[in-house]
Amino acid sequence: MGSENASAVVHFGSAAAADRRIAGVAAAARAVKMRADGGSGEVRLRIGDGAPLAPATRDDLERLRGAAEVVVERGEGSAPDLPTAWQVVRATGKPGDGIVSRWLNRPISQRITWLVLRIPGARPIHATIVNALLALIIVPVLLLGGETGLIVGGILFQAASILDGVDGEMARATWRASPAGATLDSVVDIATNLLFVSALTVNLGLRDRDAIGWIGAWAVTLSILGGILIGLRTRAGGGPIGFDLFKRPSPRIRGPVDLVYWAVQVLTGRDCFAFLFMVLIIAGLERTALSIYAGVGTLWILYVLASLRPMPRPFRGAA
């Protein structure tokens, strides 16, 4: 008999212990998922007190058991070795995280995720909705808040960048990741960027009435064009919309070209430019922030356009 048909036994002293939530998933369901992924075709779930499992636990079991058959019965044994909620959340980082995300955003967002997953019924879509509402709040703050609004808007933009990680972390911790969810998350991110840059441009354009308005208009155009290009690449590839579509592994810096490419990729990461905007706006350099965005964004668009060109077909000589 192959390992994929092997039977596994999981013991819990009581139904309450099996129902215990670990990062948004019932302990029993997490244990079953781990064994099913390990190749078990049957998992015997033995409950010490014989009490029935909670409906939420049964829902988790049905969602996560995969092809494995789950048998719930009364029985005694030692409790399974399961990760803590924090260990689960700590493992939700992404290899493609930028510098700011890795060292600032992710440590904060994971602590928020750990807290949110303790709320019964919390889902990744709820975090996405909160982030969308935050984006809508940024617009009137920037448009109507004057100099103070600039600072508050910059801080809120960085907060949105941090909160952007929560829905993805929740999805990975609870095995709820989906192409539709990833697409919705990226659409909210693109819209947030566009709304922020547009509102900042209007604020500075009305305040200074000089070339900064045109620079901001170009930055807004780049934001719109970037969203369109991401959509085109997504349609061609059939995958979910995301900012990672045009990313490549960081090159070994062997010359000026590699250095420019690395700098553009780092600076165009949402985590980096949101943090940079906040710091520069607080320092009174909001014009510089918008100009940097427009300049670096231009280089990024040129790179994206080049990457969209179809690769030439290889020449095939006579056999």
> Which of 105, 139, 150 minimizes the C-alpha distance to 273?
105
In Å, what is the CA distance from 179 to each residue of 134, 174, 176, 187, 299? 23, 15, 10, 12, 29
Position 98 scores a pLDDT of: 82
> Which of 279, 293, 100 minimizes the C-alpha distance to 194?
293
How many CA atoms lie within 13 Å of 63's alpha carbon, on the beta-carbon side?
Answer: 15
Position 158 scores a pLDDT of: 97
> Which of 132, 122, 133 minimizes the C-alpha distance to 169?
122
Tokens of 96: 């493609």
Q: Are strands 40-47 and 21-22 parallel, antiparallel or unpaired?
A: unpaired
In our burial notation (b when 16+ CB lie closer than 10 A, e otherwise), range 229-260 reads: bbbebbeeeeebbbbebbeeeeeeeeeeeeee
Contact between 52 and 61 under an 8 Å Cβ cutoff? The reply is: no
Position 39 scores a pLDDT of: 92
Q: Cα 16 from chain centroid?
A: 32
Angle at Cα 77 formed by Cα 43 and Cα 62, nearest 5°?
25
Residue partners of 141: CB distance under 8 A and separation at least 6: 149, 152, 153, 156
Q: Give 75-99 pLDDT, tens digit per residue.
A: 988 889 999 999 999 999 988 788 8
Contact between 278 and 158 under an 8 Å Cβ cutoff? The reply is: yes
The sign of the torsion formed by the CA atoms of 244, 248, 249, 250 equals negative
Q: Give 178-232 pLDDT, tens digit per residue.
A: 988 888 998 899 899 999 999 999 999 999 999 999 999 999 998 888 778 777 7
Position 255 scores a pLDDT of: 63
d(CA 122, CA 133): 17
Position 134 scores a pLDDT of: 96
Instruction: Return the CATH number of the domain spanning residue range 87-308.
Output: 1.20.120.1760
Low-confidence ranges of the chain (pLDDT < 70): 1-5, 235-268, 307-319
Position 199 scores a pLDDT of: 96
Position 26 scores a pLDDT of: 97
| pTM for this predicted structure | 0.86
Position 2 scores a pLDDT of: 44
Helices (H), ranges, 145-269 = 146-173, 179-208, 212-237, 256-267
Give the residue range(s) of CATH 1.20.120.1760 domains in the chain. Answer: 87-308
Tokens of 284: 């009174």
